[in-house]
Structure 1
Amino acid sequence: MARAHGDITLAQIRYFVRVAELGSMTEAAHEMYVAQSAVSSAVSHLEQSVGATLLIRHRSKGVALTEQGRTFYGAAQKILHSVDDAFDALNPGRLAGALIAGCFTTLAPFWLPEVHDSLTSLYPDLDVRIREMTAGEIEEALLRRDIEVALTYGFDYGREVGFERFREAPIYAAVAAHSGLAQRKKVTLQELAEEPLLLLDMGKSTNYFLSLFRDVRLQPRIHQRFESVEVLRSMVARGHGYTILNQRPAHDMTNDGGQIVRLEIQGARSFLQIGVAYRLGEELSRKGQAFVEECRAIFADA
Protein backbone atom coordinates (compact mmCIF):
# COMPACT_ATOMS: atom_id res chain seq x y z
CA MET A 1 0.00 0.00 0.00
CA ALA A 2 1.38 3.43 -0.94
CA ARG A 3 2.32 5.85 1.78
CA ALA A 4 0.61 9.20 2.20
CA HIS A 5 2.10 12.06 0.20
CA GLY A 6 2.97 13.79 3.48
CA ASP A 7 5.82 11.30 3.96
CA ILE A 8 7.72 12.82 1.03
CA THR A 9 10.73 14.91 2.07
CA LEU A 10 12.74 17.53 0.24
CA ALA A 11 15.84 15.39 0.70
CA GLN A 12 14.18 12.53 -1.18
CA ILE A 13 13.21 14.86 -4.00
CA ARG A 14 16.71 16.36 -4.21
CA TYR A 15 18.32 12.91 -4.29
CA PHE A 16 15.90 11.69 -6.96
CA VAL A 17 16.45 14.75 -9.17
CA ARG A 18 20.22 14.45 -9.04
CA VAL A 19 20.14 10.70 -9.67
CA ALA A 20 17.90 11.33 -12.69
CA GLU A 21 20.30 13.98 -14.02
CA LEU A 22 23.44 11.91 -13.56
CA GLY A 23 21.90 8.56 -14.41
CA SER A 24 23.71 7.00 -11.46
CA MET A 25 23.05 6.62 -7.74
CA THR A 26 26.76 6.18 -7.14
CA GLU A 27 27.66 9.47 -8.83
CA ALA A 28 24.81 11.30 -7.10
CA ALA A 29 25.92 10.01 -3.70
CA HIS A 30 29.52 10.99 -4.39
CA GLU A 31 28.56 14.48 -5.51
CA MET A 32 26.20 15.07 -2.56
CA TYR A 33 28.66 13.63 0.03
CA VAL A 34 26.32 10.92 1.32
CA ALA A 35 26.39 7.13 1.32
CA GLN A 36 24.99 5.42 -1.75
CA SER A 37 22.69 3.41 0.52
CA ALA A 38 21.15 6.68 1.75
CA VAL A 39 20.40 7.79 -1.80
CA SER A 40 19.01 4.38 -2.78
CA SER A 41 16.82 4.23 0.33
CA ALA A 42 15.53 7.79 -0.18
CA VAL A 43 14.56 7.10 -3.79
CA SER A 44 12.88 3.82 -2.86
CA HIS A 45 10.85 5.52 -0.13
CA LEU A 46 9.89 8.25 -2.58
CA GLU A 47 8.64 5.65 -5.05
CA GLN A 48 6.59 4.01 -2.32
CA SER A 49 5.11 7.37 -1.34
CA VAL A 50 4.02 8.27 -4.87
CA GLY A 51 2.98 4.73 -5.68
CA ALA A 52 4.98 4.52 -8.89
CA THR A 53 8.29 3.20 -10.23
CA LEU A 54 10.30 6.30 -11.14
CA LEU A 55 13.61 4.70 -12.09
CA ILE A 56 14.69 1.56 -13.89
CA ARG A 57 17.78 0.11 -12.22
CA HIS A 58 20.47 -1.44 -14.41
CA ARG A 59 23.18 -3.30 -12.53
CA SER A 60 26.07 -2.11 -14.68
CA LYS A 61 24.54 0.84 -16.55
CA GLY A 62 23.15 3.05 -13.81
CA VAL A 63 19.50 4.10 -13.87
CA ALA A 64 17.00 5.48 -16.37
CA LEU A 65 13.75 7.35 -15.91
CA THR A 66 10.46 5.60 -16.55
CA GLU A 67 7.68 7.54 -18.27
CA GLN A 68 6.15 8.27 -14.87
CA GLY A 69 9.60 9.14 -13.58
CA ARG A 70 10.12 11.67 -16.36
CA THR A 71 6.80 13.32 -15.54
CA PHE A 72 7.62 13.40 -11.84
CA TYR A 73 11.13 14.72 -12.57
CA GLY A 74 9.73 17.86 -14.22
CA ALA A 75 7.37 18.46 -11.30
CA ALA A 76 10.15 17.77 -8.79
CA GLN A 77 12.37 20.36 -10.44
CA LYS A 78 9.62 22.95 -10.08
CA ILE A 79 9.29 22.09 -6.38
CA LEU A 80 13.01 22.57 -5.81
CA HIS A 81 13.03 25.81 -7.80
CA SER A 82 10.11 27.12 -5.73
CA VAL A 83 11.84 26.24 -2.48
CA ASP A 84 15.08 27.91 -3.63
CA ASP A 85 13.15 30.99 -4.75
CA ALA A 86 11.39 31.17 -1.39
CA PHE A 87 14.72 31.28 0.43
CA ASP A 88 16.23 33.65 -2.11
CA ALA A 89 13.28 36.02 -1.70
CA LEU A 90 14.47 36.69 1.86
CA ASN A 91 17.74 37.93 0.39
CA PRO A 92 17.10 39.46 -3.07
CA GLY A 93 20.81 39.76 -3.84
CA ARG A 94 21.43 36.04 -3.37
CA LEU A 95 20.66 33.08 -5.61
CA ALA A 96 21.32 29.48 -4.59
CA GLY A 97 20.49 26.00 -5.77
CA ALA A 98 20.92 24.59 -9.26
CA LEU A 99 20.37 26.47 -12.51
CA ILE A 100 20.08 23.96 -15.35
CA ALA A 101 20.18 25.60 -18.76
CA GLY A 102 21.09 24.66 -22.30
CA CYS A 103 23.34 26.17 -24.96
CA PHE A 104 23.32 25.37 -28.66
CA THR A 105 26.44 23.35 -29.39
CA THR A 106 28.04 25.73 -31.91
CA LEU A 107 27.36 28.76 -29.71
CA ALA A 108 28.81 27.07 -26.62
CA PRO A 109 32.57 27.53 -27.30
CA PHE A 110 32.07 31.26 -27.86
CA TRP A 111 29.48 32.23 -25.23
CA LEU A 112 29.00 29.49 -22.62
CA PRO A 113 32.21 30.21 -20.63
CA GLU A 114 31.41 33.92 -20.38
CA VAL A 115 27.80 33.31 -19.32
CA HIS A 116 28.93 30.73 -16.76
CA ASP A 117 31.66 32.96 -15.30
CA SER A 118 29.37 35.98 -15.16
CA LEU A 119 26.66 34.09 -13.27
CA THR A 120 29.01 32.40 -10.80
CA SER A 121 30.75 35.73 -10.15
CA LEU A 122 27.48 37.51 -9.42
CA TYR A 123 25.94 34.60 -7.49
CA PRO A 124 28.64 32.53 -5.73
CA ASP A 125 26.06 30.21 -4.14
CA LEU A 126 24.47 29.33 -7.48
CA ASP A 127 25.23 25.91 -8.97
CA VAL A 128 25.38 26.74 -12.68
CA ARG A 129 24.99 23.78 -15.03
CA ILE A 130 24.83 24.63 -18.75
CA ARG A 131 24.55 21.73 -21.17
CA GLU A 132 25.65 21.72 -24.80
CA MET A 133 22.73 20.66 -27.03
CA THR A 134 21.56 20.52 -30.61
CA ALA A 135 18.37 22.34 -31.58
CA GLY A 136 16.34 19.13 -31.44
CA GLU A 137 17.71 18.30 -28.00
CA ILE A 138 16.92 21.80 -26.75
CA GLU A 139 13.30 21.53 -27.87
CA GLU A 140 12.88 18.12 -26.21
CA ALA A 141 14.66 19.19 -23.00
CA LEU A 142 12.50 22.30 -22.65
CA LEU A 143 9.28 20.37 -23.16
CA ARG A 144 10.40 17.64 -20.72
CA ARG A 145 11.49 20.37 -18.28
CA ASP A 146 15.00 18.92 -18.17
CA ILE A 147 16.21 22.50 -18.65
CA GLU A 148 14.49 25.80 -17.90
CA VAL A 149 15.98 28.01 -20.61
CA ALA A 150 18.57 27.82 -23.40
CA LEU A 151 20.89 30.14 -25.28
CA THR A 152 20.37 29.22 -28.91
CA TYR A 153 19.45 30.28 -32.41
CA GLY A 154 15.91 31.26 -33.33
CA PHE A 155 14.89 28.06 -35.07
CA ASP A 156 11.31 26.81 -35.19
CA TYR A 157 10.82 25.05 -31.87
CA GLY A 158 7.05 24.65 -32.10
CA ARG A 159 4.11 26.38 -30.47
CA GLU A 160 5.08 25.56 -26.88
CA VAL A 161 8.47 27.26 -26.97
CA GLY A 162 9.02 31.02 -26.87
CA PHE A 163 12.10 32.90 -28.03
CA GLU A 164 13.64 36.26 -27.08
CA ARG A 165 16.09 37.53 -29.65
CA PHE A 166 19.29 39.41 -28.81
CA ARG A 167 21.05 39.94 -32.13
CA GLU A 168 21.37 38.66 -35.68
CA ALA A 169 24.12 36.11 -36.14
CA PRO A 170 26.89 37.02 -38.59
CA ILE A 171 27.47 34.91 -41.68
CA TYR A 172 30.60 34.23 -43.72
CA ALA A 173 32.14 31.76 -46.14
CA ALA A 174 35.35 29.93 -45.20
CA VAL A 175 37.83 28.71 -47.80
CA ALA A 176 41.34 27.26 -47.72
CA ALA A 177 44.23 29.73 -47.58
CA HIS A 178 45.52 28.31 -50.90
CA SER A 179 42.11 28.48 -52.58
CA GLY A 180 41.63 30.67 -55.62
CA LEU A 181 38.96 32.55 -53.68
CA ALA A 182 41.27 33.29 -50.75
CA GLN A 183 42.56 36.50 -52.34
CA ARG A 184 39.07 37.91 -52.48
CA LYS A 185 37.40 39.94 -49.75
CA LYS A 186 33.87 39.12 -50.88
CA VAL A 187 32.12 36.32 -52.69
CA THR A 188 28.54 35.80 -53.88
CA LEU A 189 26.25 32.84 -53.28
CA GLN A 190 26.15 32.37 -57.04
CA GLU A 191 29.93 31.90 -57.11
CA LEU A 192 29.86 29.60 -54.08
CA ALA A 193 27.14 27.43 -55.61
CA GLU A 194 29.65 26.35 -58.26
CA GLU A 195 32.13 25.09 -55.65
CA PRO A 196 31.96 21.92 -53.50
CA LEU A 197 30.16 22.65 -50.23
CA LEU A 198 31.18 21.08 -46.91
CA LEU A 199 27.95 21.30 -44.96
CA LEU A 200 27.50 21.60 -41.21
CA ASP A 201 24.90 18.87 -40.78
CA MET A 202 23.05 19.37 -37.47
CA GLY A 203 19.31 19.03 -37.92
CA LYS A 204 17.69 22.46 -37.95
CA SER A 205 21.08 24.03 -38.80
CA THR A 206 21.26 21.97 -41.98
CA ASN A 207 17.95 23.32 -43.21
CA TYR A 208 19.02 26.87 -42.34
CA PHE A 209 22.25 26.76 -44.37
CA LEU A 210 20.52 25.20 -47.36
CA SER A 211 17.74 27.80 -47.15
CA LEU A 212 20.30 30.52 -47.90
CA PHE A 213 20.62 29.04 -51.38
CA ARG A 214 16.96 28.10 -51.79
CA ASP A 215 15.88 31.67 -51.07
CA VAL A 216 17.81 32.87 -54.15
CA ARG A 217 16.88 29.81 -56.22
CA LEU A 218 20.30 28.23 -56.20
CA GLN A 219 21.31 24.60 -55.69
CA PRO A 220 24.63 24.14 -53.85
CA ARG A 221 26.98 21.27 -54.68
CA ILE A 222 27.07 19.37 -51.40
CA HIS A 223 30.35 17.47 -51.30
CA GLN A 224 30.39 16.16 -47.71
CA ARG A 225 28.50 16.65 -44.43
CA PHE A 226 29.99 16.93 -40.95
CA GLU A 227 28.50 17.36 -37.48
CA SER A 228 31.64 18.92 -35.97
CA VAL A 229 32.61 22.51 -36.72
CA GLU A 230 36.29 21.78 -36.07
CA VAL A 231 36.33 18.80 -38.44
CA LEU A 232 34.58 20.98 -41.00
CA ARG A 233 37.16 23.77 -40.64
CA SER A 234 40.05 21.32 -40.97
CA MET A 235 38.60 19.79 -44.12
CA VAL A 236 38.12 23.26 -45.60
CA ALA A 237 41.72 24.18 -44.76
CA ARG A 238 42.91 21.08 -46.63
CA GLY A 239 41.15 22.24 -49.77
CA HIS A 240 38.18 19.85 -49.90
CA GLY A 241 35.68 22.66 -50.41
CA TYR A 242 34.19 25.72 -48.76
CA THR A 243 31.71 26.07 -45.91
CA ILE A 244 29.37 28.67 -44.48
CA LEU A 245 29.41 29.44 -40.76
CA ASN A 246 28.03 31.95 -38.28
CA GLN A 247 30.37 32.10 -35.29
CA ARG A 248 33.87 33.51 -35.75
CA PRO A 249 36.80 31.97 -33.80
CA ALA A 250 39.48 34.36 -32.55
CA HIS A 251 41.91 33.03 -35.18
CA ASP A 252 41.79 31.24 -38.53
CA MET A 253 44.04 28.30 -37.60
CA THR A 254 42.50 24.84 -37.42
CA ASN A 255 43.22 22.21 -34.77
CA ASP A 256 45.53 20.31 -37.11
CA GLY A 257 47.57 23.38 -38.06
CA GLY A 258 45.78 24.36 -41.24
CA GLN A 259 44.46 27.81 -42.08
CA ILE A 260 41.20 29.09 -43.48
CA VAL A 261 40.26 32.49 -44.90
CA ARG A 262 36.94 34.12 -44.08
CA LEU A 263 35.05 35.89 -46.85
CA GLU A 264 32.07 38.19 -46.68
CA ILE A 265 29.10 36.86 -48.64
CA GLN A 266 28.05 39.80 -50.77
CA GLY A 267 24.36 40.64 -50.76
CA ALA A 268 23.51 37.97 -48.16
CA ARG A 269 22.19 38.28 -44.62
CA SER A 270 21.83 35.47 -42.18
CA PHE A 271 18.46 36.57 -40.73
CA LEU A 272 19.32 34.04 -38.03
CA GLN A 273 18.70 35.40 -34.55
CA ILE A 274 20.63 34.54 -31.40
CA GLY A 275 18.61 34.58 -28.20
CA VAL A 276 17.05 32.46 -25.47
CA ALA A 277 14.36 29.79 -25.78
CA TYR A 278 11.96 28.94 -22.95
CA ARG A 279 8.64 27.22 -22.35
CA LEU A 280 5.64 29.39 -23.12
CA GLY A 281 3.05 29.90 -20.41
CA GLU A 282 5.44 29.24 -17.51
CA GLU A 283 7.15 31.94 -15.50
CA LEU A 284 10.91 31.58 -15.23
CA SER A 285 12.39 31.05 -11.80
CA ARG A 286 14.65 33.79 -10.44
CA LYS A 287 17.61 31.66 -11.53
CA GLY A 288 16.21 31.36 -15.03
CA GLN A 289 15.60 35.11 -15.11
CA ALA A 290 19.21 35.70 -14.01
CA PHE A 291 20.44 33.52 -16.90
CA VAL A 292 18.39 35.51 -19.41
CA GLU A 293 19.52 38.85 -17.96
CA GLU A 294 23.19 37.91 -18.13
CA CYS A 295 22.89 36.62 -21.70
CA ARG A 296 21.07 39.80 -22.67
CA ALA A 297 23.77 41.97 -21.11
CA ILE A 298 26.63 40.02 -22.70
CA PHE A 299 25.17 40.28 -26.17
CA ALA A 300 24.37 43.97 -25.68
CA ASP A 301 28.09 44.53 -25.02
CA ALA A 302 29.33 42.21 -27.78
Structure 2
Amino acid sequence: MAAEDLSISQSSISAAIDAMEREIGYDIFVRTPAKGVKPTALGGEVLQAVRRFLEQSRHFEAEVQSVDGQATGAVRIGCYATAAPSFLPLILKSFSENHPGISIMLLEGSMDAAAKFLSEGDVDLVFSYDETVEEGQGFVPLFSAPPYALIPQEHPLSGQSDVSYEELCSLPMVLLDLPRTRAYFANMFTKRGLTPNIVHSTRSSEIVRALVSGGFGFSILNILPPGYGGSNQPFSILPIRDTVDTPVFGIVTSELSRRPQIVSAFIEHCISLRESGVFSDLVVQ
Protein backbone atom coordinates (compact mmCIF):
# COMPACT_ATOMS: atom_id res chain seq x y z
CA MET A 1 0.00 0.00 0.00
CA ALA A 2 1.09 3.59 -0.63
CA ALA A 3 0.78 4.45 3.06
CA GLU A 4 3.18 1.66 4.01
CA ASP A 5 5.64 2.50 1.21
CA LEU A 6 5.76 6.16 2.27
CA SER A 7 5.57 5.51 6.04
CA ILE A 8 2.54 7.83 6.18
CA SER A 9 -0.84 7.01 7.67
CA GLN A 10 -3.64 6.12 5.25
CA SER A 11 -5.81 8.89 6.67
CA SER A 12 -3.09 11.48 5.89
CA ILE A 13 -2.91 10.31 2.27
CA SER A 14 -6.71 10.38 1.97
CA ALA A 15 -6.79 13.91 3.41
CA ALA A 16 -4.12 15.06 0.94
CA ILE A 17 -6.09 13.60 -1.98
CA ASP A 18 -9.30 15.26 -0.76
CA ALA A 19 -7.52 18.60 -0.47
CA MET A 20 -6.11 18.30 -3.99
CA GLU A 21 -9.49 17.37 -5.46
CA ARG A 22 -11.11 20.39 -3.76
CA GLU A 23 -8.34 22.62 -5.10
CA ILE A 24 -8.61 21.51 -8.75
CA GLY A 25 -12.39 21.08 -8.68
CA TYR A 26 -12.79 17.47 -9.85
CA ASP A 27 -12.22 13.92 -8.63
CA ILE A 28 -8.87 12.30 -9.29
CA PHE A 29 -9.80 8.87 -7.92
CA VAL A 30 -12.86 6.67 -7.69
CA ARG A 31 -13.15 5.04 -4.29
CA THR A 32 -14.69 1.57 -4.15
CA PRO A 33 -15.23 -0.17 -0.77
CA ALA A 34 -13.03 -3.27 -0.35
CA LYS A 35 -11.38 -2.58 -3.73
CA GLY A 36 -9.40 0.56 -2.96
CA VAL A 37 -9.08 3.42 -5.44
CA LYS A 38 -8.47 3.82 -9.15
CA PRO A 39 -7.94 6.99 -11.18
CA THR A 40 -10.75 8.67 -13.07
CA ALA A 41 -10.19 9.59 -16.72
CA LEU A 42 -9.10 13.10 -15.69
CA GLY A 43 -7.18 11.63 -12.79
CA GLY A 44 -5.16 9.51 -15.19
CA GLU A 45 -4.08 12.67 -17.02
CA VAL A 46 -3.12 14.27 -13.71
CA LEU A 47 -1.00 11.25 -12.79
CA GLN A 48 0.79 11.41 -16.14
CA ALA A 49 1.51 15.10 -15.55
CA VAL A 50 2.84 14.31 -12.07
CA ARG A 51 5.08 11.57 -13.49
CA ARG A 52 6.48 14.00 -16.05
CA PHE A 53 7.11 16.60 -13.36
CA LEU A 54 8.92 14.09 -11.12
CA GLU A 55 10.96 12.87 -14.08
CA GLN A 56 12.03 16.41 -14.96
CA SER A 57 12.86 17.08 -11.31
CA ARG A 58 15.01 13.96 -11.14
CA HIS A 59 16.81 14.93 -14.36
CA PHE A 60 17.43 18.44 -13.03
CA GLU A 61 18.86 17.10 -9.78
CA ALA A 62 21.19 14.73 -11.63
CA GLU A 63 22.42 17.51 -13.93
CA VAL A 64 23.10 19.88 -11.01
CA GLN A 65 24.98 17.19 -9.11
CA SER A 66 27.23 16.49 -12.11
CA VAL A 67 28.29 20.07 -12.88
CA ASP A 68 31.59 19.52 -11.03
CA GLY A 69 32.45 16.65 -13.39
CA GLN A 70 31.61 13.91 -10.88
CA ALA A 71 28.45 12.25 -12.22
CA THR A 72 26.04 11.09 -9.53
CA GLY A 73 22.45 9.92 -9.35
CA ALA A 74 20.59 6.79 -10.38
CA VAL A 75 20.00 5.16 -13.76
CA ARG A 76 16.71 3.26 -13.80
CA ILE A 77 16.95 0.20 -16.03
CA GLY A 78 14.21 -2.09 -17.25
CA CYS A 79 15.19 -5.48 -18.60
CA TYR A 80 13.75 -8.52 -20.32
CA ALA A 81 14.28 -10.89 -17.40
CA THR A 82 15.06 -14.03 -19.40
CA ALA A 83 18.07 -12.38 -21.05
CA ALA A 84 19.33 -10.37 -18.08
CA PRO A 85 21.57 -12.98 -16.36
CA SER A 86 23.66 -13.42 -19.51
CA PHE A 87 24.84 -9.83 -19.98
CA LEU A 88 23.67 -7.54 -17.18
CA PRO A 89 26.34 -8.40 -14.56
CA LEU A 90 29.07 -7.70 -17.12
CA ILE A 91 27.66 -4.29 -18.01
CA LEU A 92 26.89 -3.21 -14.46
CA LYS A 93 30.26 -4.29 -13.05
CA SER A 94 32.33 -2.38 -15.59
CA PHE A 95 30.02 0.66 -15.48
CA SER A 96 30.18 0.85 -11.68
CA GLU A 97 33.97 0.69 -11.80
CA ASN A 98 34.06 3.66 -14.19
CA HIS A 99 31.23 5.62 -12.54
CA PRO A 100 31.23 4.85 -8.80
CA GLY A 101 28.95 7.79 -8.02
CA ILE A 102 26.07 6.48 -10.16
CA SER A 103 23.72 3.89 -8.71
CA ILE A 104 21.55 1.47 -10.68
CA MET A 105 17.89 0.66 -10.12
CA LEU A 106 16.54 -2.45 -11.85
CA LEU A 107 13.08 -3.52 -12.93
CA GLU A 108 12.73 -6.81 -14.77
CA GLY A 109 9.86 -8.57 -16.48
CA SER A 110 8.64 -9.97 -19.79
CA MET A 111 9.27 -8.04 -23.01
CA ASP A 112 5.80 -6.50 -22.78
CA ALA A 113 6.27 -5.61 -19.10
CA ALA A 114 9.66 -4.02 -19.82
CA ALA A 115 8.15 -1.99 -22.67
CA LYS A 116 5.43 -0.76 -20.31
CA PHE A 117 8.05 0.31 -17.74
CA LEU A 118 9.52 2.65 -20.36
CA SER A 119 6.26 3.99 -21.77
CA GLU A 120 5.00 4.84 -18.28
CA GLY A 121 8.24 6.56 -17.28
CA ASP A 122 9.23 4.06 -14.62
CA VAL A 123 12.68 3.54 -16.18
CA ASP A 124 15.17 5.53 -18.25
CA LEU A 125 15.90 2.73 -20.70
CA VAL A 126 15.11 -0.91 -21.38
CA PHE A 127 17.22 -3.85 -22.51
CA SER A 128 15.09 -5.81 -24.95
CA TYR A 129 14.66 -6.87 -28.58
CA ASP A 130 14.10 -4.48 -31.47
CA GLU A 131 10.60 -5.80 -32.08
CA THR A 132 9.36 -4.05 -28.91
CA VAL A 133 10.32 -0.53 -30.09
CA GLU A 134 7.30 1.76 -30.35
CA GLU A 135 6.65 5.17 -31.88
CA GLY A 136 8.54 7.88 -30.05
CA GLN A 137 11.28 5.49 -28.95
CA GLY A 138 14.86 4.99 -30.07
CA PHE A 139 16.94 1.83 -30.30
CA VAL A 140 20.67 1.25 -29.80
CA PRO A 141 21.61 -2.21 -31.17
CA LEU A 142 24.10 -4.22 -29.12
CA PHE A 143 24.16 -7.60 -30.87
CA SER A 144 22.21 -9.88 -33.20
CA ALA A 145 20.85 -12.97 -31.48
CA PRO A 146 20.12 -15.78 -33.95
CA PRO A 147 18.15 -18.71 -32.51
CA TYR A 148 20.04 -21.85 -31.55
CA ALA A 149 18.96 -25.35 -30.60
CA LEU A 150 19.59 -27.11 -27.31
CA ILE A 151 19.88 -30.87 -27.84
CA PRO A 152 20.22 -33.55 -25.12
CA GLN A 153 23.85 -34.65 -25.04
CA GLU A 154 23.02 -38.31 -25.57
CA HIS A 155 20.94 -37.72 -28.72
CA PRO A 156 22.64 -38.45 -32.09
CA LEU A 157 21.86 -34.94 -33.36
CA SER A 158 24.07 -33.47 -30.64
CA GLY A 159 27.18 -34.56 -32.52
CA GLN A 160 26.37 -32.48 -35.60
CA SER A 161 27.85 -29.08 -36.38
CA ASP A 162 24.37 -27.64 -36.96
CA VAL A 163 20.76 -28.80 -37.24
CA SER A 164 17.73 -28.15 -39.46
CA TYR A 165 14.17 -27.39 -38.42
CA GLU A 166 13.09 -30.66 -40.01
CA GLU A 167 15.56 -32.58 -37.88
CA LEU A 168 14.39 -30.81 -34.75
CA CYS A 169 10.84 -31.97 -35.40
CA SER A 170 12.01 -35.56 -34.91
CA LEU A 171 12.35 -34.69 -31.20
CA PRO A 172 9.75 -33.49 -28.68
CA MET A 173 10.04 -29.79 -27.83
CA VAL A 174 10.44 -27.99 -24.52
CA LEU A 175 9.01 -24.49 -25.10
CA LEU A 176 10.00 -21.25 -23.42
CA ASP A 177 6.44 -20.00 -23.06
CA LEU A 178 6.37 -16.25 -22.44
CA PRO A 179 4.41 -13.41 -24.02
CA ARG A 180 5.75 -13.03 -27.58
CA THR A 181 8.06 -16.07 -27.41
CA ARG A 182 5.39 -18.71 -28.11
CA ALA A 183 4.39 -17.03 -31.38
CA TYR A 184 8.04 -16.32 -32.25
CA PHE A 185 9.15 -19.94 -31.87
CA ALA A 186 5.99 -21.36 -33.46
CA ASN A 187 6.44 -19.16 -36.53
CA MET A 188 9.88 -20.66 -37.16
CA PHE A 189 8.20 -23.97 -37.90
CA THR A 190 4.82 -22.98 -39.35
CA LYS A 191 6.33 -20.88 -42.15
CA ARG A 192 8.19 -24.05 -43.20
CA GLY A 193 5.06 -26.20 -43.02
CA LEU A 194 6.24 -27.91 -39.83
CA THR A 195 4.59 -28.49 -36.47
CA PRO A 196 6.77 -29.16 -33.41
CA ASN A 197 5.62 -31.67 -30.81
CA ILE A 198 5.54 -29.51 -27.67
CA VAL A 199 5.59 -31.78 -24.62
CA HIS A 200 6.58 -29.27 -21.95
CA SER A 201 6.32 -25.52 -21.64
CA THR A 202 7.75 -23.25 -18.97
CA ARG A 203 8.32 -19.57 -18.29
CA SER A 204 11.87 -20.21 -17.05
CA SER A 205 14.91 -20.56 -19.30
CA GLU A 206 16.66 -22.38 -16.45
CA ILE A 207 13.92 -25.02 -16.40
CA VAL A 208 14.15 -25.24 -20.20
CA ARG A 209 17.83 -26.13 -19.92
CA ALA A 210 17.18 -28.53 -17.06
CA LEU A 211 14.51 -30.42 -19.02
CA VAL A 212 16.69 -30.62 -22.13
CA SER A 213 19.56 -31.86 -19.94
CA GLY A 214 17.22 -34.53 -18.60
CA GLY A 215 16.51 -35.78 -22.11
CA PHE A 216 12.91 -34.55 -22.35
CA GLY A 217 13.43 -32.97 -25.76
CA PHE A 218 15.02 -30.06 -27.61
CA SER A 219 14.45 -26.35 -27.18
CA ILE A 220 15.32 -23.08 -28.91
CA LEU A 221 16.75 -19.97 -27.28
CA ASN A 222 18.59 -16.87 -28.53
CA ILE A 223 21.12 -15.81 -25.90
CA LEU A 224 23.63 -18.20 -24.37
CA PRO A 225 23.34 -18.96 -20.65
CA PRO A 226 25.73 -17.17 -18.30
CA GLY A 227 29.05 -18.92 -17.90
CA TYR A 228 28.43 -21.35 -20.74
CA GLY A 229 31.76 -23.01 -21.47
CA GLY A 230 30.76 -25.24 -24.36
CA SER A 231 32.16 -28.43 -22.88
CA ASN A 232 31.15 -30.79 -20.11
CA GLN A 233 27.56 -29.63 -20.50
CA PRO A 234 24.55 -32.00 -20.31
CA PHE A 235 23.28 -30.54 -23.58
CA SER A 236 24.69 -29.47 -26.92
CA ILE A 237 24.13 -26.05 -28.48
CA LEU A 238 23.85 -26.04 -32.26
CA PRO A 239 23.22 -23.30 -34.83
CA ILE A 240 20.02 -23.81 -36.82
CA ARG A 241 20.37 -23.95 -40.59
CA ASP A 242 18.30 -21.69 -42.86
CA THR A 243 17.53 -19.14 -40.14
CA VAL A 244 16.54 -15.89 -41.84
CA ASP A 245 14.92 -13.60 -39.28
CA THR A 246 17.45 -12.79 -36.58
CA PRO A 247 16.28 -10.51 -33.75
CA VAL A 248 18.53 -7.72 -32.54
CA PHE A 249 19.03 -7.13 -28.83
CA GLY A 250 19.80 -3.67 -27.53
CA ILE A 251 18.71 -0.61 -25.60
CA VAL A 252 15.27 0.97 -26.04
CA THR A 253 14.99 4.63 -25.02
CA SER A 254 12.31 7.28 -25.01
CA GLU A 255 12.74 10.08 -27.53
CA LEU A 256 10.01 12.19 -25.94
CA SER A 257 12.11 13.79 -23.22
CA ARG A 258 15.64 15.09 -22.79
CA ARG A 259 18.11 12.41 -21.77
CA PRO A 260 19.99 13.02 -18.49
CA GLN A 261 23.78 13.05 -18.63
CA ILE A 262 24.10 9.94 -16.48
CA VAL A 263 21.78 7.97 -18.78
CA SER A 264 23.82 9.06 -21.80
CA ALA A 265 26.97 7.97 -19.96
CA PHE A 266 25.45 4.54 -19.38
CA ILE A 267 24.43 4.14 -23.02
CA GLU A 268 27.87 5.24 -24.22
CA HIS A 269 29.42 2.67 -21.91
CA CYS A 270 27.27 -0.08 -23.46
CA ILE A 271 28.26 1.08 -26.95
CA SER A 272 31.95 0.91 -26.00
CA LEU A 273 31.44 -2.65 -24.75
CA ARG A 274 29.74 -3.51 -28.04
CA GLU A 275 32.65 -2.09 -30.01
CA SER A 276 35.11 -4.11 -27.90
CA GLY A 277 33.31 -7.32 -28.94
CA VAL A 278 32.38 -8.59 -25.49
CA PHE A 279 28.83 -9.44 -26.53
CA SER A 280 30.01 -11.93 -29.16
CA ASP A 281 30.27 -14.57 -26.42
CA LEU A 282 26.53 -14.34 -25.84
CA VAL A 283 25.41 -15.68 -29.20
CA VAL A 284 25.85 -18.71 -31.45
CA GLN A 285 27.18 -17.86 -34.90
With the shorter chain as reference, the TM-score category is 0.7 to 0.9
Change (3 A) 1:43 1:290: farther
Aligned Cα root-mean-square deviation (Å): 3.4
The letter of the residue matching 2:180 is K
Equivalent residue, structure 1, for 2:59: 82
3-state SS of 1:128 partner: strand
Once the two structures are TM-superposed, the CA of residue 291 in structure 1 deviates from its matched residue by 2.5
Map of 1:15-30 to 2, 5 A cutoff?
24-27=2-5
TM-score by length of 2: 0.78
Which runs of no fewer than 5 residues in structure 2 stay unpaired? 279-285
* Conserved 8 A contact 1:119-1:128: no
Equivalent residue, structure 2, for 1:278: 253
Q: Bigger CA drift: 172-181 or 80-89?
A: 80-89
Change (3 A) 1:220 1:208: same
Q: Kindly provide the CA deviation profile for residues 72-111 of structure 1, in whole angstroms up to 9, marking residues without a partner as x.
A: 4522432332322431452234232x22111111221011
Say which of 111, 114, 119 aligns to 2:90: 114
* Conserved 8 A contact 2:174-2:218: yes
Q: Structure with the greater relative contact order (CA < 8 A, sep ≥ 6): 1 or 2? A: 2
Distance 1:47 1:154 in 2: 43
Which runs of no fewer than 5 residues in structure 1 stay unpaired? 1-22, 29-35
* Conserved 8 A contact 1:105-1:132: yes
Change (3 A) 1:208 1:79: same
Q: Aligned pair 1:298/2:273, yes or no?
A: yes
Distance 2:18 2:64 in 1: 27
Q: Aligned pair 1:91/2:68, yes or no?
A: yes
How many residues align? The count is: 267
Q: Bigger CA drift: 269-278 or 46-55?
A: 46-55
* Conserved 8 A contact 1:174-1:236: yes
3-state SS of 1:187 partner: coil
Change (3 A) 1:78 1:281: same
3-state SS of 1:109 partner: helix
Equivalent residue, structure 2, for 1:104: 80
* Conserved 8 A contact 2:3-2:13: no
Change (3 A) 1:106 1:215: same
Distance 2:272 2:10 in 1: 39
* Conserved 8 A contact 1:112-1:130: no
Equivalent residue, structure 1, for 2:213: 237
* Conserved 8 A contact 1:155-1:204: no
TM-score by length of 1: 0.74
Distance 1:26 1:292 in 2: 34
Once the two structures are TM-superposed, the CA of residue 300 in structure 1 deviates from its matched residue by 2.5
Once the two structures are TM-superposed, the CA of residue 64 in structure 1 deviates from its matched residue by 8.2
* Conserved 8 A contact 1:106-1:229: yes
* Conserved 8 A contact 1:135-1:155: no
Percent identity among equivalent residues? Answer: 20
Q: Kindly provide the CA deviation profile for residues 144-202 of structure 1, in whole angstroms up to 9, marking residues without a partner as x.
A: 11112111111244324332212211431101112232222211112112321211111
Change (3 A) 1:64 1:205: farther
Equivalent residue, structure 1, for 2:142: 166
Change (3 A) 1:42 1:159: same
Equivalent residue, structure 2, for 1:71: 48
Distance 1:141 1:170 in 2: 26
